[in-house]
Structure 1
Amino acid sequence: MASRWGTIAAQRTAEGVDAQQLDFADMERVAAALVEGLAVVMLTARVQYRTVATVPPCHQCGTVATVD
């Protein structure tokens, strides 16, 4: 999964830019932004999961309601 994300990011980064114009520092900044975005998504999903997991299910139907 990570290699696929890396491929997509590389393709989108290179769109409209000559590959010769990108240096290692540019690639490093792109990679850092990708890691930051992935961390935010993962942590947000984890918090949402924990919130849902701690809400008891309905005593009548057994479903868990999400809390906003």
Structure 2
Amino acid sequence: MTLVIVEPPVPGEHGRRVIVRCPEAERCIGIAHSDQELLRLLEKVGLTGYENDLDLPGAVEWRELGPHQWERPS
């Protein structure tokens, strides 16, 4: 099973690092600044169908901040 991990916001920058973990490996696929960018990054690596699953705990792990939060609160 492939797990998508959205790391906490990058200090000093906007956006969150996106990591894809599967049984064979784990790799960073980029930094997303919005839900739309996250979906584009996933599509680039062949992962589709996440449009309705971003809030699904078994599909996406949002670290530190919750879903759809792309910047630390001021």
TM-score normalised by length of structure 1: 0.29
Higher strand share: 2
Say which one has the larger Rg. Answer: 1
TM-score by length of 2: 0.28
